[in-house]
Amino acid sequence: MGEGMNKPDTVTITTNFWRVPSVETAFSGWLEGAATEAEKLLVIAKTEAARAAWSPSTEAIDLVVQLKRFIGTRVTIQMWDSDMWLFPQEGPHPFAADFIGVIVINIDGFQQAFIEVANVTVLTTPDGYDPMSYLQTHAESKFALVPLSTLYEVSRA
């Protein structure tokens, strides 16, 4: 379930099991009109409950295992932006990188998985935007970190 249409050299994430529920993003998929006050309160309450109960699922751990097959290779990575639901071409540019490893780090009380990458090269597309804002750093790794919570696709370059 954590991956979709996969080929041997590609992992596409159709349901992201590493995304921690947050009120800030709870309405990002809302497509039909403005939410009423009652709808907003219900969404916020459900989101807060889901956040309090969140931990990596077996599907999340399975995704980490699947991604480890790319260790030591050059990959192309596509990050996810919710605008891509309607305008797939307007998401972040893909980028190529050396896939170093996968690491799980505690971030704000939640276990979060990251791909460790090096030698990043942005692969510019006509309507996309700079993906470098997705990359993070952390004291537990000397490499640039790609959060699995916003990952869409990894493929062997």
Question: Residue 28 sits in which domain range?
Answer: 23-53
**Residue 40 sits in the same domain as residue 90:** no
Which band of pLDDT confidence, cut at 50, 70 and 90, is reported for residue 3?
A: very low
**Residue 36 sits in the same domain as residue 87:** no
In a domain, 61, yes or no: yes
In a domain, 1, yes or no: no
In a domain, 4, yes or no: no
**Token pair of 79, please?**
């990050």
**Residue 76 sits in the same domain as residue 47:** no
Residue 117's pLDDT is what? 98
DSSP string, 18-47: TPPP-GGGTTTT--SSPPPHHHHHHHHHHH
For residue 72, pLDDT over 80 is answered with yes
Q: How many CB atoms lie within 10 A of CB 107?
A: 14
**How many domains is the chain built from?**
2
User: Any residues with CB less than 8 A from the CB of 45 and at least 6 apart, and which?
Assistant: none
For residue 137, pLDDT over 70 is answered with yes
**Residue 29 sits in the same domain as residue 99:** no
**Token pair of 88, please?**
């797939």
CB 115 within 8 A of CB 99: yes
Instruction: Give the predicted TM-score (pTM) of the model.
Output: 0.82
**Residue 134 sits in the same domain as residue 76:** yes
